[in-house]
Every structure is written in C-alpha cells, then in structure tokens.
Amino acid sequence: MSAATQRLVQAAIDASKSAYAPYSNFHVGAALLLDDGQIVTGSNFENASYGMTLCAETVAIAKANSDGQLRAIREIAVAGGLAGHVGAAAEPITPCGRCRQIIKEVADLTDTDIPVHCAHAGGYETFTLSELLPHGFGPASLK
C-alpha cells in the first residue's frame, strides 16, 4: 500500500462522513488526486426523489470542474458503507454505472486510464477505469 494512495483512500472515507443519506443510510465518499498533489473530495447527496440523488464521485468531479481542475484529475478513491462503517465491507465498494460513465468522460479528456482505488476492510483494491467499464461510451463513440 503506497502512503499516497492510502492518504487518498482515507480522504474518501473522511468525505463520507459528510454524506447526506437519510433514505439509504449508505454513505459514500470520493477523493480525487490532482496532478499537483491536491485532493478534492465529495460525498453522496440523496433526495426523496431517488433519481435526483448525486453520487460522491459525481459531486467531487463537478467540484473539480467548477474549480477549473477537470483536466488535472489523475486518480480516484471511493469508500462506502452504512453510516459509521464506511470502508468496513469485506469486498471493495466500486462506483455505480453512472459514475463509471462520468469518470470515463474525464479519462477520455485526460487520455488517462484512471486508477480507481476502492476501499474495503483490508485496505483497498485498485482497478483501472477500463477494467470497471470495458466498453464505455465516450466522445469517440459520437464520430
């Protein structure tokens, strides 16, 4: 476990503490590593109309974008679980399909197969985006 990746995973776990998840009680945090070493975080934000819910990864990516840092994203960490137990699952918590597609947009923009570090009780497991989304739909699909 690299210290830098462990710090990123811990930032995702810490971000989950800010989750607004009154319906599912499933808190998710995401942390983005930027090319300058800065970490940007986000947490899920549920809505009574479930389709309006914002995932942690989407919140973090939108935050980086609003700060003009979209092209600076290099790695992502994700941690999820019931409130008070984030990161304690036996298996890694991975981004949902919608978030994988959002991450794909960043990967295509930066020409990077973004590593996604997914927390679990034993630490984390790292997947590349292409492993999580092997046949993703991206800008090249529109040509």
Tell me whether residue 57 is one of the annotated catalytic residues. yes
Please tell me which residue in 46, 57, 75, 105 is annotated as part of the active site. 57
Residue 113 and residue 107: Cα distance in Å, rounded?
Answer: 6
Residue 8 and residue 31: Cα distance in Å, rounded?
Answer: 6
CA distances from 120 to 46, 64, 102 (A): 22, 25, 22
What amino acid positions are annotated as catalytic residues? 57
